Amino acid sequence: MKAIHTRSQERILNLLQKIKRGISAQDIYVELRKGNQSMGLATVYRSLEALKLEGLVQVRTLGNGEALYRLTKQDKHHLTCLQCGASITINKSPAHELEQQLQDTHKFKIFYHTLEFFGLCQKCQAMEAK
């Protein structure tokens, strides 16, 4: 049975489908205003929280504390530099097989997973070597 979403939730889902990348709640708010689909920032946060609990949206928190939202179907993995904040997408991950095993073994419905490695990018390593 498909869940019934509010107009605000539908607008956010449509935006996330269109942009296909992680985006902050503040940027969602700005993008919706640009498209004449204005809603309050608090409504954006409430809608994102409801969509997250439904398993439709995942949140990724960057090292600087900023939260990025994306559709769960757009699973991504990253290498994140602790110094400059650069984020490199990893396209291949063994975590997908593990996710399926965990679902089967524990009878646990997994909406999404995250895999992120933290360290220093090549540019920041070169800066530290000087």
Asked which of 34, 54, 73 is the last residue of a domain, the reply is: 73
CATH of the domain at 7: 1.10.10.10
pLDDT at 15 over 50: yes
What pLDDT is recorded for position 62? 80
Q: Which of 25, 40, 73 is the last residue of a domain?
A: 73
Give the domain-ending residue among 58, 73, 88.
Answer: 73
Question: In terms of domains, do 29 and 61 share one?
Answer: yes
On whether both 108 and 53 belong to a single domain, the answer is no
Give yes or no: residues 62 and 80 share one domain: no
> Would you say 76 and 62 are in contact if contact means Cβ atoms under 8 Å apart?
no
The two most distant CA atoms of the chain are separated, in Å, by 59
CB 13 within 8 Å of CB 52: no
**How many other C-beta atoms can be found within 10 angstroms of the C-beta atom of residue 75?**
16
124 and 114, same domain (yes or no): yes
pLDDT in tens, 47-70: 999 999 888 998 888 878 889 999
pLDDT over 50 at 1, yes or no = no
* Among 73, 78, 82, residue whose Cα is nearest residue 93: 78
How far is it, in rounded angstroms, from Cα 31 to Cα 27? 6
**pLDDT digit string, tens, across residues 68-126:** 999 887 566 878 888 888 888 887 777 778 888 999 999 998 877 777 788 899 999 99
Range of the domain at 125: 75-130
Q: Are residues 9 and 41 in the same domain?
A: yes
Short-list 19, 119, 86, 108, CA closest to 30: 19
Counting every residue written for the chain, the total comes to 130
**Mean pLDDT throughout 40-45?**
96
- Which amino acid, residue 43? T
What's the rounded Cα separation, in Å, for the pair 125 and 130?
A: 9
Count structural domains, the chain.
2
